[in-house]
A and B are shown apart, each in its own frame.
Chain A
Amino acid sequence: MTINGWIQVALFCAIVLALVRPLGGYMTRVFQGERTLLSPVLRPVETGLYRLAGIDARGEQSWLSYGLAMLTFHALGFAMLYGLLRLQDVLPLNPAGQGAVAPDLAFNTAASFVTNTNWQNYGGESTLSYLSQMLGLTHQNFLSAATGIALAVALVRGFARASARTVGSFWVDLTRCTLYVLLPICVIYSLFLVSQGIPQTLGASIEATTLEGATQTIAIGPVASQVAIKMLGTNGGGFFNANAAHPFENPTALSNFIQIVSIFVLGAAMTNVFGRMVGDERQGWAILGAMGVLFLAGVLVTYASEAAGSSVLNGLGLAGGNMEGKELRFGIVASALFAVVTTAASCGAVNAMHDSFTALGGLIPMINMQLGEIIVGGVGAGLYGMLVFVIVAIFVAGLMVGRTPEYLGKKIEAREVKMAMLAILCLPLMMLGFTGLATVVAAGLAGPANAGPHGFSEILYAFTSAAANNGSAFGGLSGNTPFYNTTLAIGMLVGRFFVIIPALAIAGALAAKKTVPASAGTLPTHGGLFIGMLVGVILIVGGLTFFPSLALGPIVEHLAGTAGLTFATGG
C-alpha cells in the first residue's frame, strides 16, 4: 500500500460525500413532485406522457397496485428484450452480422438486464448487434435503475407517512426518475466519457494494419452512451466482454475515477433523500455511516491483499503486487477500489478480472454481495435492502431491552419482521442452494476454469452475484451453458423480486400505521450506538450464513497459497 493509494481512496470518499446533499435535495424535490431546475424543459414532456398513457399524476397506488404495476412493466421489458435478442440477425443496425442469440442465453440475458443484474454470459462485441445493445440493453439499464429508485422511494414514503393507504404512483416515480435524474446526468456524462476517448459511433469494426504488418480488427460502437447509464444506474453490463477493463470502456485514470464515483453517487444520495423525506437528515447520515464503516473495512482488506500480491507468484521472485488481470493505467489501488465499490453497490462492472484477484482480495467482493449489497448498494435497491436490515436490528434491540421496537415513530411488529426475514433469507437460499447443486451435478462441475478451492469460488461467486443482482463474475467460469444460463437466471429473478415484494409490503404496512411520539425509552437511531448495532447485526447475520461457504473457497485458497500449493486442471 502507498500513500498515493490512500490519497486516491480519500479523494473518492470526499467527492461522493460532497455530492450527497446537493443530489439528495434535488432528488427529493423530484420525487415529491416539486418544481426543479429542469422543469421548464421536461415538464411538457412529462405531462404529454401522462396524457398519452392515461395516468393521473396525482393518483396514488396502494403497495399492492404499485407492485403489480412494476411487475407488468417488467414483464413487458422481459418479453421485448428476449424477442430482440432472438431476432437480432434479421433486425437493422447489425453491421458485424451477429447471429440470433440462443434461447437459453437470451433468457439469461433478458433476466439479467430486467433485474438490474447485467450478468454477462454474452460476449458483448462478439455476440450482440448495435440494436440489441441500444434498444435492449441501454434501455433496460435506464428502466431497471429507475425501478430500483422508485421502489426505495415507495418504502421511504411508508416510513414518512402516517395512517396512509397509498405509497405513491409507480408510473409517476418511474417517469420522473428517468426524465429528471437519469437522462440529464447521462447526457453530460456520455460527452465527458467521449472526451476521454470512449467511442460513440454506429460505424462497423475497424481493420487496422499494425506496425508489424498484422491485421487487427478493432470492435467499436455506440459505447459511451451505454457506459454512462451502466455505471450511474449500477447496472454494470459491458459493451465489451472485458467490461470497464477494456480501454474503449474506460480509457484513462480520470474516466476510471469518475466511473467509480458514478457507481456510488445516486445510492449514497438516496440515504439523504430518505433523511429528508422522514424529516430528519441525521437518520440518512446514520445509515450512510453504517455503510461507510463496512465499506472502508472492505477497501482495507482488498487493497492490502492485492498490494501484497499472490504468495505463489511472489515465490517465483515477483514483487509489486498482484497485476494479473489488472490494467496498468489503473494500477493496484484503483482496481481494488473499483472491485469493492462495484460489489458494495450492485453494479458489477469490473475494471480488473476478479477471478485473478488474490484469495482475500476476491473474498471481500463476495462478502459485499452476500450481505445483500447494502453498502450504498444498487440505486434504490441498496437503501431498501439496508432498511430491511434496520428493521431486524431494531427488532433485536427491542428484544434486548424488552420493549416494542420502534423506528422513526413507527412500531415494528410481527408482520414487518416476517417480511424483512423473508427478504433476507431468499438470498442465501439462492446463493448457497444453487452452489450446492452445481458442485454435485456434472453440468455444474463442467463450469469452473480453475482447479481446487478456486474452482469452488468461481461457482459460489456466480450464484452470489446472480442472486444479489450484481453481475460481476469470476470470469473463468463457463457460464454460457443451458445449466448455468437457467439456474443463474432463476437466481437473478428470485433475488430481485423476492426482495422487492416483501419490501413493498413493509412499505404498505408502515404507511398505514400511526406515528408515535418519541419518549425517554426510544432508542435514538441517528447516533454511534445505533450505527454499531446495525453493523453488528449485518455482520452476524451475514457471517453466520455465509462463513462455511467462504471457508471452503477463498479462505482455504489463501492458506493453500501461503503454503505454496498450486492446483492444475485435468490432472
Chain B
Amino acid sequence: MLASLRPALALFVVLTAITGLAYPLAMTGLATAIFPAKAAGSLIRRDGTIIGSSLIGQSFTSPRYFHGRPSATVATDPADAAKTVPSPYNASNSAGSNLGPTSAALAERVKGDLDALRAENPGATVPVDLVTASGSGLDPDLSPEAALFQVARVARARGVSEDRVRDLVAAQVEGRTFGVLGEPRVNVLALNLALDARLRQ
C-alpha cells in the first residue's frame, strides 16, 4: 500500500489537472472561439434584450400565443423555504412529473387538461403531447398536430384568419433529422416570435 502511494499521488494530481481543469477549460476556449452563440446558450435577443434561448421552452398562458407542453418544474415557495410550488418552465430547476402509469394524480391532471382542451376545440382529437408533461419540464417543441390544434384559438384571439396562422405553423415545422432521426416538431418560441412579427395587430 505504501509503495503505491507515490505513483497514486502523482498520477492523481496530474490526471486531475488534465481531466478536471485543462480539459474543460480548453473546451470552453475552443467552443467559444468556434461556436460562440451556441456555447453561450443559443440566446435570442429582440430589441436588445434577451428573451430566452431557442432551446429552452418558456411558459405561455395568453390565448394570443401557442402554448407549450405541460411542465412539472417547481420553485421554492417564497412563503416557506422547505416547500415547493409549481413553476412551469423553471429553467434553473429542470424536472419531470415522475408520476407513474397508475398514478391517480396523473390521471386527474390529464383528465382536467383534456376537458379544457376539448372545450376549446370541440370535436378535434387532442394530441398526446398537449396533455403530458415533458421529461425536463423545458421541452421547447410541440408536435405539428399539437400546434395545429391551437390555431383556432390563436386566430380568434388575434382577430386574423385561421389560414394565415396555419400557414405560419406550416412554415415552422421541422422534419426528422436526415429524414430518419427524432420526430417532426415545431419550436414554440420561434413560432410565437414569427406570430408577433407577422401578425402584429
List chain A positions with a Cβ less than 8 A from chain B: 4, 7-8, 11, 49, 52-55, 65, 68-69, 72-73, 76-77, 80, 123-126, 134-136, 138-139, 142-143, 171, 174-175, 178, 183, 186-187, 190-191, 194-203, 205-212, 214, 216-220, 222, 224-226, 229, 240-242, 245-248, 251-254, 256-257, 309-313, 316-331, 334-335, 350-353, 355-359, 449-454, 457-458, 474-476, 557, 560-561, 565-569
Q: How large is the interface on B (under 10, 10 to 19, 20 to 34, 35 or more residues)?
A: 35 or more
**Apart from A324-B106, A325-B133: 10 A-B pairs, beta carbons within 8 A:** A138-B20, A139-B16, A178-B15, A198-B38, A208-B53, A210-B52, A212-B61, A242-B137, A359-B101, A565-B102
User: Given that A211-B60, A252-B177, A325-B97 are contacting pairs, would A219 and B92 also be in contact in the complex, using a CB cutoff of 8 Å?
Assistant: yes
A197 to B38, CA, bound (A): 5
**A residues within 8 A CB of B105?**
568-569
Q: When the two chains form their complex, are residues A11 and B101 in contact, meaning their CB atoms are under 8 A apart?
A: no
| B150 at interface by CB-CB < 8 Å | no
A171 to B62, CA, bound (A): 61
User: Given that A183-B23, A194-B31, A194-B34 are contacting pairs, would A325 and B14 also be in contact in the complex, using a CB cutoff of 8 Å?
Assistant: no
Contact of A125 among B8, B52, B89, B93 (CB under 8 A): B93
Q: When the two chains form their complex, are residues B136 and A246 in contact, meaning their CB atoms are under 8 A apart?
A: yes
User: Given that A54-B6, A245-B136 are contacting pairs, would A225 and B23 also be in contact in the complex, using a CB cutoff of 8 Å?
Assistant: yes
Q: How far is the CB of B96 from chain A (nearest CB, A)?
A: 4
A393 to B15, CA, bound (A): 39
A325 to B72, CA, bound (A): 9
Q: How far is the CB of B73 from chain A (nearest CB, A)?
A: 9
A326 to B185, CA, bound (A): 14
User: Given that A242-B138, A324-B99, A353-B98 are contacting pairs, would A222 and B11 also be in contact in the complex, using a CB cutoff of 8 Å?
Assistant: no
Contact of B94 among A54, A202, A240 (CB under 8 A): A240
Q: How far is the CB of A562 from chain B (nearest CB, A)?
A: 10
Q: When the two chains form their complex, are residues B1 and A72 in contact, meaning their CB atoms are under 8 A apart?
A: yes
**A residues within 8 A CB of B140?**
247
Contact of B96 among A203, A208, A475 (CB under 8 A): A475
Q: When the two chains form their complex, are residues B100 and A54 in contact, meaning their CB atoms are under 8 A apart?
A: no
Of all chain B residues, the one with the shortest Cβ separation from A358 is B101
Q: How far is the CB of A116 from chain B (nearest CB, A)?
A: 14
Q: How far is the CB of B161 from chain A (nearest CB, A)?
A: 22
A183 to B15, CA, bound (A): 11
Q: When the two chains form their complex, are residues A323 and B129 in contact, meaning their CB atoms are under 8 A apart?
A: yes
Within 8 A of A (CB), among B130-164: 131-143
**A residues within 8 A CB of B79?**
none
5 closest A-B pairs by CB: A253-B182, A139-B20, A245-B135, A476-B98, A53-B10
Q: How far is the CB of A552 from chain B (nearest CB, A)?
A: 14
- For the A-B complex, the count of residue pairs with Cβ-Cβ distances under 8 Å equals 387
Q: When the two chains form their complex, are residues B4 and A69 in contact, meaning their CB atoms are under 8 A apart?
A: yes
**A residues within 8 A CB of B58?**
208, 210-212, 214, 216
Could you give, for residues 59-73 of chain B, a 1 whenever the CB lies within 8 Å of some chain A CB and a 0 otherwise?
Answer: 111100100010000
Of all chain B residues, the one with the shortest Cβ separation from A178 is B15
**B residues within 8 A CB of A476?**
98-100
| B39 at interface by CB-CB < 8 Å | yes
28 A–B pairs (Cβ distance < 8 Å), ordered by A: A52-B10, A53-B11, A72-B5, A135-B20, A142-B19, A191-B27, A191-B30, A199-B39, A200-B31, A208-B50, A208-B53, A209-B51, A210-B58, A217-B90, A222-B27, A226-B24, A241-B94, A242-B136, A247-B139, A310-B102, A316-B107, A325-B96, A326-B135, A328-B139, A353-B96, A560-B102, A561-B101, A561-B102
Contact of A69 among B8, B39, B42, B61 (CB under 8 A): B8
Q: How far is the CB of A163 from chain B (nearest CB, A)?
A: 25
Q: When the two chains form their complex, are residues A126 and B93 in contact, meaning their CB atoms are under 8 A apart?
A: yes
Q: When the two chains form their complex, are residues A316 and B100 in contact, meaning their CB atoms are under 8 A apart?
A: no
| B18 at interface by CB-CB < 8 Å | yes
> Most chain-A CB neighbours within 10 Å: which of B32, B52, B96?
B96
A77 to B11, CA, bound (A): 11
Q: How far is the CB of B178 from chain A (nearest CB, A)?
A: 8
A53 to B132, CA, bound (A): 55
Within 8 A of A (CB), among B78-115: 89-107, 110-111, 114
Contact of A451 among B14, B94, B103, B189 (CB under 8 A): B103
Q: When the two chains form their complex, are residues A207 and B50 in contact, meaning their CB atoms are under 8 A apart?
A: yes
**A residues within 8 A CB of B40?**
199, 201, 203, 220
Q: When the two chains form their complex, are residues A325 and B98 in contact, meaning their CB atoms are under 8 A apart?
A: yes
A167 to B12, CA, bound (A): 22
**A residues within 8 A CB of B43?**
206, 208
Of all chain A residues, the one with the shortest Cβ separation from B7 is A53
**B residues within 8 A CB of A475?**
95-96, 98
Q: When the two chains form their complex, are residues A328 and B110 in contact, meaning their CB atoms are under 8 A apart?
A: no
Q: When the two chains form their complex, are residues A323 and B132 in contact, meaning their CB atoms are under 8 A apart?
A: yes
User: Given that A212-B62, A326-B134, A328-B143 are contacting pairs, would A316 and B53 also be in contact in the complex, using a CB cutoff of 8 Å?
Assistant: no
Q: When the two chains form their complex, are residues A206 and B50 in contact, meaning their CB atoms are under 8 A apart?
A: yes
**A residues within 8 A CB of B19?**
138-139, 142-143, 178, 183, 229
A426 to B18, CA, bound (A): 35
**A residues within 8 A CB of B12?**
73, 76-77, 80
Q: How far is the CB of A438 from chain B (nearest CB, A)?
A: 17
**A residues within 8 A CB of B100?**
355-356, 359, 450, 454, 457-458, 474, 476, 557
| B121 at interface by CB-CB < 8 Å | no
Q: When the two chains form their complex, are residues B97 and A356 in contact, meaning their CB atoms are under 8 A apart?
A: yes
**B residues within 8 A CB of A143?**
15, 19
Could you give, for residues 109-131 of chain B, a 1 whenever the CB lies within 8 Å of some chain A CB and a 0 otherwise?
Answer: 01100100000000001111101
Q: How far is the CB of B191 from chain A (nearest CB, A)?
A: 11
A203 to B110, CA, bound (A): 38
A256 to B4, CA, bound (A): 41
**B residues within 8 A CB of A201?**
28, 31-32, 39-41
Q: When the two chains form their complex, are residues B8 and A454 in contact, meaning their CB atoms are under 8 A apart?
A: no
A7 to B176, CA, bound (A): 13
Q: When the two chains form their complex, are residues A325 and B56 in contact, meaning their CB atoms are under 8 A apart?
A: no
